[in-house]
Amino acid sequence: MNASNIPVLIPFTFLLAALLIPLAGMLRKGFAQILAVAASGFTLFISVTGLFRVLDEGPLHHYMAGWLPPFGIEFVFDPLSAFFCALISAVSVLVLIHAGKSTSHEIPDKVVPFFSLAMLLLAGLTGMVLTGDLFNLYVFLEIGALAGYALVAIGDRRAPVSAFRYLTLGTAGAGFYLGGLALVFMSVGSLNMAEVAQLLPGVQDSAPVIVGICLMVLGMGLKMALFPMHAWLADAYTHAASSATALIAPIGTKVAAYVLIRLMLFIADPELVNVETPLIMAVGALGAIGMIWGSILAVCQKELKRMLAYSSVAQVGYIALGIGLASPLGIIGAVLHALNHACMKACLFFISGNLRLRMGHSYIPSFVNSIRTAMPWTAACFALAAISMIGLPPTAGFFSKWYLVMGSIETSNWLFVIALILSSLLNAVYFFRVLERMYLAPQADPEDPSKGEAEVLTPEGHGEAPASMLGPTLILAVSLLVLGVFNAWIVTTFITPMIPGRL
């Protein structure tokens, strides 16, 4: 295989799978999952092999139909895009394996559409990461967004309303991005990212460019659920099927964060941007506020999925704070936290799905210590993921927060340090509350409901989650220790090479 084809092969593999899955599902419903897992596994293989090749030999470029930019469409596989592409593929493989039993239980009549839409979503997300053209980024953004809206809509009875709200705000975000793109194109006359980066310094102090960049950042902030633009997230994550949430939450917002990194630190010059407008500082400040506000809202929740949804608002804030630092340590912290949070949040939403399968709900006040005895591995995975989310060593979450704290100290942003510490303490409050219910809450007496809170069970009955669901959960839980132990190697090998020389 020609290495230059890797950047275009990944999104088009997902597009092809999205078209073939409905046909495969007509033969047998299980074929839909097999094809989806195979497509994700193939993209994971070429993403990882391509990542190491890029680190050794430099970026790969693919020009559609041989047309060079600015006339042709370019796909770029550099250390930043390759890293995020490998992350998307790795998480998606585990989600799609976990989804077989989960979707059959929660949305039994929509299994085939789920896997087809998942492929379409992944095509859009990987296309956004790999395109070297600002307009085609918008095209892939819309492809992924439409699939995401549909995935949310096929959840519970309240999902369509949540999906409509998601669609409304998501469309607004895409509109802001497109409007900003038009202003930038009007000023520089190109849509190719590399050319725009070369041309912007000459016009970056002009009003259309400043407004254009601000609008593009605003659009991605909506897609990323950056405070205070997070109104769509909680309902969408709560009412979507568990597998849909487990797919969208870990990687959807991370791709929007990737676009912010690419736009604010690679295409635009951070120093020139800050001369005209405190845009980068504003992103960091909103991230810091979001970390605290999202954590406060999470503390108030009684439903596990909704708690995890608001937790995502806080975790997105960590990434935005790192971007706002606009320093090497800040970028390391932001990218490392994007990796860690993808694994942590996928693991936690897997656990929510496991509990819903066996208990019929994930209502925290109804958790009792029978979870610890009936589902010991699921409970242990939750404990490990919770510890990582709080940021305790040697788990992965500690080290990304460490880099963010060091970056904040290095740039004398002491309020950011306070926000990081306060948010972590709030994380401990809402996660230890769940752990207390799982491990210490008394088992209800069926003859005396006043002695404890009744456990709600489905016909699935007691017992650990099936292997197809427990396996991916365990892999992600263990990965949080592996990522923590080998964080220095990950930073040195994968993240440091992607830091732009201007920082």
Residue in this structure with the two tokens 């963010």, named with its chain if needed: 404
Does a structural domain hold residue 294?
yes
Q: Are 293 and 229 in contact (CB under 8 A)?
A: no
Cite the DSSP H helix spans in 300-413: 304-325, 328-359, 370-374, 376-390, 396-410
Report the predicted TM-score, pTM, of the whole model to 2 decimal places.
Answer: 0.89
Integer Cα distance of 221 and 223 in angstroms:
5
Integer Cα distance of 244 and 222 in angstroms:
19
Cis peptide before 113 (omega within 30 of 0): no
Does a structural domain hold residue 22?
no
Measure the CA dihedral 235/239/241/245, to 10°: 10
Q: Give the pLDDT confidence score for residue 1 in this predicted structure.
A: 57
Does a structural domain hold residue 298?
yes
Residue positions counted in the chain: 503
CB atoms near residue 161 (< 10 Å): 12
Integer Cα distance of 84 and 127 in angstroms:
11
Strand partners, 77: 60
Integer Cα distance of 335 and 322 in angstroms:
8
Residue 74 per-residue DSSP state: E
How is 153-177 classified by DSSP, letter by letter?
A: HTSSTTHHHHHHHHHHHHHHHHHHH
What's the sign of the alpha-carbon dihedral 75, 87, 138, 180? negative
Question: Measuring CA to CA, which residue among 190, 185, 194, 193 is closest to residue 215?
Answer: 185
Does a structural domain hold residue 221?
no
Integer Cα distance of 249 and 148 in angstroms:
10
C-alpha triplet 260, 265, 267: angle, nearest 5°: 90
Integer Cα distance of 160 and 156 in angstroms:
8
Does a structural domain hold residue 489?
yes
- Tell me the residue range of the domain where 424 lies: 282-443+461-502
For 181, the token pair is 């793109």
- Look up residue 48 and give its amino acid: V
- Classify residue 314 as left (phi > 0), alpha (psi -120 to 50) or beta: alpha
Strand partners, 133: 192
Cite the DSSP H helix spans in 391-454: 396-410, 414-440
- Look up residue 286 and give its amino acid: L
Does a structural domain hold residue 431?
yes
Integer Cα distance of 184 and 343 in angstroms:
35
Q: Give the pLDDT confidence score for residue 461 in this predicted structure.
A: 52
Does a structural domain hold residue 152?
no
Integer Cα distance of 329 and 333 in angstroms:
6
Between helix 242-261 and helix 111-130 the angle, nearest 10°, is 10
Cis peptide before 394 (omega within 30 of 0): yes
Burial class (CB in 10 A: 0-12, 13-18, 19+), 263: buried
CA dist 143 to 32, 127, 311, 331, 470, Å? 20, 9, 26, 28, 31
Three-state secondary structure call for residue 192? strand
Q: Give the pLDDT confidence score for residue 449 in this predicted structure.
A: 42
Q: Are 88 and 122 in contact (CB under 8 A)?
A: yes
CA dist 245 to 143, 380, 387, 440, Å? 18, 21, 21, 28
CB atoms near residue 273 (< 10 Å): 25
Integer Cα distance of 455 and 458 in angstroms:
10
Q: Are 333 and 404 in contact (CB under 8 A)?
A: yes
Does a structural domain hold residue 360?
yes
Q: Are 350 and 291 in contact (CB under 8 A)?
A: no
Integer Cα distance of 122 and 119 in angstroms:
5
Integer Cα distance of 55 and 490 in angstroms:
13
pLDDT in tens, the chain (503 residues): 566 678 888 999 999 999 999 988 888 888 888 999 999 999 999 999 989 999 888 888 888 766 776 667 888 888 999 999 999 999 999 999 998 888 888 788 888 899 999 999 999 999 999 998 888 999 999 999 999 999 998 877 888 888 898 899 989 999 999 999 999 888 888 888 888 888 887 777 788 888 888 899 999 898 888 888 888 888 888 888 888 899 998 888 889 999 998 888 888 876 665 555 688 888 899 999 999 999 999 998 888 889 999 999 999 999 999 998 888 898 999 999 999 999 999 999 999 888 888 777 777 777 766 677 778 888 899 999 999 999 898 999 899 999 999 999 988 888 999 999 999 999 999 898 888 888 876 765 444 444 444 344 433 456 777 888 899 999 999 999 999 999 999 999 999 888 876 66
Q: In the chain, how many domains are there?
A: 1
Helix count (H) and strand count (E) of the chain? Answer: 20, 2
- Strands (DSSP E) found in 234-295: none
